Structure 1
């Protein structure tokens, strides 16, 4: 098929060519040369480019008498143009040469530059041109507007004032020459154009009208383009006044574009273009082997200064494995750090690749619980000779602070609603309660079963044999290979040699080449992914600092949701929740914003490692809720209370004197505990909050009744799979599968983009300094005290009792 297309297009190329700038509409410029007709184009471009053009134009025909014989002499103008386009300050230069019948030449030059501003949907631009001929200099300028009003409609407008340039031919018996005249008067011109696309990007039709500066009609042109396949542009135009026809062809091949042209007036030109971004081409980018380095942690949200995040990593791997031409994926692990849910999503993607016949090779320095689970899917696992396997199995240790608080003179005075709502237990007790032990054991057993079973299936051995590995670790690399845990022991340079690492293409290079320039006039439809990461608090989100965790501020999160809701180009919203909960007030405000957004467009929820308590409160606003198998969710309950530091004050010799004008004025004083009456009042208030929590869930989960929900609540926590079984979650899926499912439902799966929202664009540095004031506290105490002291009016919290991280 490609050979046939090539022959047809080359024949067309020989017969015709690609339209010159003057013969293409200002409503739909699509390369630097046509962009010089409407400088607003440069504000809309998606990549920088260099274009070089040579044009031969018939300038004049004269009948002359030579020694009694009559004949016709023709002289031509050769124009050599070089254009450097970018989005802000494009520039270029032209060299003009006039060729006479006996070969004499006359040259002059022009230098142009531009200023442009815009987006893909439109822009404004200015272009100034300096003309040089012998000792004469002139200046011209043009101003352009471009508005791509829809995928099928674009409009352009330009106004220009340029010096009149005339050429004269002088002939004699001994010599001939061409004289160029840069006139003192200027030629002003107003031009407007309209372009439509009746069938996506495959057909473009346009019409332009040109006027003098007094709006007197001057001329008009019509034309169009057909793009039968990617990379082939067949064009034609007709100049109504001088009845000139022009046809053209442009061929795009990767970053290179070839252009040729011919007109009915015997004018023609040809040239090349080099683009910084790949152009849609006849031959798509194909590679068989891709290499990828996974290093460090991948948060759900990009860091303060941008950079990597888990959503981008999973999307990158998904893009690679969906390419049927990719046969091998080579991965280097450099101390990766993921939650178990993230390991689960990555492994699911790699499993999909392997199931379609792809080969996976992985090199690591050491293997722990998480990396052992991830790498077990590989066809070849290689460790460094000095490395080892620390696959011990999973467990949990929880530190209880009651003894320390007693010694410091700090009294935790907490109230909880829900038998299993044990979030304050580490401060109020010195041993684990039966309820917490029961829940943690169930969660750990579930995750352990996933790890052991999946490894056994991938390595083709029994579950008992895999459990036996946990009892033999730690193991040196050589011993691990003898046990069949890994396949090869080699240094990194040796692995690079036999795995084909150096012959493969980096994932960044591969993804860059697949990020092609789009011929759409409008933006591609988008699906927004909005993170809710960290403890939920009032105020702004921030990435935390030393010994302090991330927080999801209600103001920041609501602003992101409202922005996505207003954006007409965003067709659906996915809330990516990785939070143990937090402020009851902030959770409700975010829930309402999500509910309001759901009235305009679909709002789905993707649960990462945690979406518990306040995290589940927010999730209940979603039209559909998705979780990973190991997601920790539920914990539907409330805690509240305070820490009394009166004993600490006594130890420090501090004396607090108080005056209260009512019985409850000291209810949240840090030097008093609750009275019996105050405790009843606090509990009554918390019961109302608990009921509100359940009502929010019942609004979103139509499959639940008040009685069935109460049996699931009481602060109980669930893994993702158990939450699906009891109706708190709809489906088990990772973030990549979720946005694919949403795109299919919205019928945009062929051409959609992901809009990754970051909560840290409006970062508050003063807030970070305030958080860093807790450096003297333990990490766990710091996180919880941070929640309890964020706002003096906050006293109710939806928060999970524990936060587990797989190592």
Structure 2
């Protein structure tokens, strides 16, 4: 018995010593393991929707959601101790900028630090970097803090040079979408609404944000306006003023992190969380089949939220990409996506994610009608733009979320055509027309509207505008808003609002991100509180083969024309793209101008 006790004590002592050695080894291993910092680069435009569904291009076109998901992943990754943002030429609207800012603010709630490195600090680069704990510029860099401008492109004289003439009718003093084709300058009403919107962006999105994030400087709003008026700044001067924190090159950021975290070594996780491209052996014909494979969609019975993206100008038919690189939101594609979400028993609610300036009145109404037929809860989430037809389709939702910087409203209607008769004459093309009926030439491409045709078009436009107001009012009442017809008419007339202004006027319900909209949809769909629901993203991304065989698909040349002068010309002409796409539509619900606020 005594021998047994001695043996047990010996075994226990041995096991304890081994556990102690293992614990010490593990502690030593943790001590020697380098601290990891996630690196994420944010640059260029970030689209909405489902990325192209094949291995060759999927990682080349990151969406806004992809970028935000990577930031969120870094915040919950216990091996990541900080985030290094490399910001270089962020080309997004104010709504997406708000979404990214909120994602960074949520990251900071994890207690981890964010350092931002800017080479050429453009305005929106800097505004995004303001969410960081430290902003770094290289010695040769600059901070382009110069203010805000709205740029409007007009095409009237270009049309005249080719012998064409725009003939349009509209409802609403502020419905200025036709002005680029009928004028060479802004009308007084257009300038008034543009200045109101610009003031909101300048004071709230820029001045107030700098004041909030650089609170230690105790700047008053007038101090910040003066700083902006004296911009741009060199890296050295920006640091002296306290606009940025440090002058240094990219390697110095990791050195700064070492001091912050009090460690000797740091591992930089380059392009953290980014999907890797599957390598394709182009010499192997069987490997090439990967390009043509249809996208795989995981299907399971887990409760989920469907996110349906309405991106680009709204038109009848299928969604497509144009020759000039712009996306369209096709009513046929949208209706198919809505029906898929409705028929999928695992989908408990729908988030309608809108980034659209509007478009065809018919297509907008067809999408709205299908959403109204859907029996599942629908929450609308507005991105950079959800105006005119983009606002129209949101009226089917139980609740509307928008970002403070979203451009929305533009409740109005216009219709018309381009008279190409003079162009054809210059080319030596003539035509002879035989008609029966007073308005048979209504959509003739070689003549302007007659008096009778103008009266007929006016009736169509007035009726469509009345429908828009009625459906907007019904939608607002459905969401619990107490807007009356008279008040709504005062907010309509084609007038455009920022998300902040729209919330104050009752045109939307809440200021918030797409994630906020998803949470509300989950609640209405009966999903557990504080859950992170699985998402079904629709419409599905196209494979390479789908895109190649699509009869109406027009490949974009913008990536192949990144040449000084050519790219800027494409941006100017791009405003005509949506117009040409809908040339056969009689009535349009469209945002004024090819609007750029920079």
TM over 0.5: yes
Kindly state the Cα deviation for residue 481 of structure 1 after the two structures are TM-superposed: 1.6
Residue deviations 1:577-633, cap 9 Å, x none?
A: 010000001001111111122x1x211100011100000000111111000011111
Q: Which of residues 327, 340, 359 in structure 2 aligns to 1:563? A: 340
The residue number in structure 1 matching 2:590 is 799
Tell me which of 464, 478, 492 is aligned to 2:250: 492
Question: Does the aligned pair in 2 maintain the 1:365–1:388 contact within 8 Å?
Answer: yes
Question: How much has 1:418 moved relative to structure 2?
Answer: 1.1
8 A Cα contact 1:531 1:759, kept in partner? no
Partner of 2:155: 401
Instruction: Spell out the pairing of 1:85-234 with structure 2 (5 A cutoff).
Output: none
User: Is structure 2 residue 128 aligned with structure 1 residue 374?
Assistant: yes
**Which residue in the other structure is 2:354 paired with?**
577
Matched, 1:441 2:195: yes
Give the one of 292, 315, 322 matched to 2:40. 292
Change (3 A) 1:541 1:760: farther
Helix, strand or coil for the counterpart of 1:768?
Answer: coil
Matches of 1:326 and 1:355, distance apart in 2: 14
The match for 1:354 among 108, 111, 114 is 108
Unaligned runs of 5+ in 1: 1-286, 513-520
| Contact 2:381-2:401 within 8 A present in 1 as well | yes
Larger Rg: 1
RMSD after superposition: 3.0
Report the counterpart of residue 458 of structure 1 in structure 2: 213
**Match of residue 443 from structure 2:** 668
User: Quick check: 1:609 aligned with 2:384?
Assistant: yes
Structure having the larger proportion of residues in helix: 2
Change (3 A) 1:680 1:522: closer
Q: What's the CA shift for 1:396?
A: 1.3
Kept in 2: contact 1:549–1:783 (CA 8 A): no
Assess if the C-alpha contact under 8 Å between 1:542 and 1:759 holds in 2: no
Asked if the contact 2:405/2:498 (under 8 Å) is kept, the reply is yes
Classify the secondary structure of the residue corresponding to 1:300: coil
Cα distance in 2 between the residues matched to 1:318 and 1:353 = 7
Looking at structure 1, the residues matched to 368 and 330 of structure 2 have their Cα atoms a distance apart, in angstroms, of 13
Relative to structure 1, the CA distance from residue 502 to residue 656 in structure 2 (aligned partners, 3 Å threshold; closer, same or farther) is farther
Relative to 1, partners in 2 of residues 1:725 and 1:690: Cα closer, same or farther, differing over 3 Å? Answer: same
Q: Indicate how the Cα distance of structure 1 residues 676 and 481 shifts in structure 2: closer, same or farther if over 3 A, else same.
A: same
- What is the Cα deviation at residue 733 of structure 1? 0.2
Matched, 1:414 2:195: no
CA separation of 1:779 and 1:648: change in aligned 2, threshold 3 A = farther
Equivalent residue in structure 2 for 1:651, among 426, 436, 448: 426
Q: Determine if contact 1:290/1:510 at 8 Å carries over to the other structure.
A: no
8 Å Cα contact 2:152/2:594 also seen in 1? no
Match of 2:527 in 1: 747
**Using the alignment, how far apart are the partners of 1:313 and 1:676 within structure 2?**
54
3-state SS of the aligned residue for 2:326?
Answer: coil
Alignment partner of 1:572: what SS?
strand
TM-score, normalised on structure 1?
0.59
Distance 1:665 1:625 in 2: 42
Q: Quick one: structure 1 residues 302 and 337, their matched pair in 2 at CA, closer, same or farther if it must change by over 3 Å?
A: farther
**C-alpha separation between the residues in 1 aligned to 2:557 and 2:66?**
29
Q: Is the contact between residue 317 and residue 349 of structure 1 (CA under 8 Å) also seen in structure 2?
A: yes
> How far has the Cα of 1:717 moved from its partner?
1.1
Number of residue equivalences: 511
From the two aligned structures, give the one with the greater strand fraction.
1
Please give the per-residue CA displacement for 1:33-60, whole angstroms capped at 9, x wherever unaligned: xxxxxxxxxxxxxxxxxxxxxxxxxxxx
Residue 522 of structure 1: CA displacement?
5.7
> What residue is the counterpart of 2:395 in the other structure?
620
CA distance in 2, matches of 1:442, 1:629: 14
Partner of 1:224: none
Per-residue CA deviation, residues 697-731 of structure 1 (Å, 9 max, x unaligned), is 12221133322222221111111111112211010
1:523 shift after superposition? 4.2
| 8 A Cα contact 2:312 2:329, kept in partner | yes
The match for 2:454 among 654, 679, 689 is: 679
Rate the CA distance shift 1:522–1:662 in 2: closer, same or farther, 3 A.
closer
Higher relative contact order (CA 8 A, sep 6+): 2
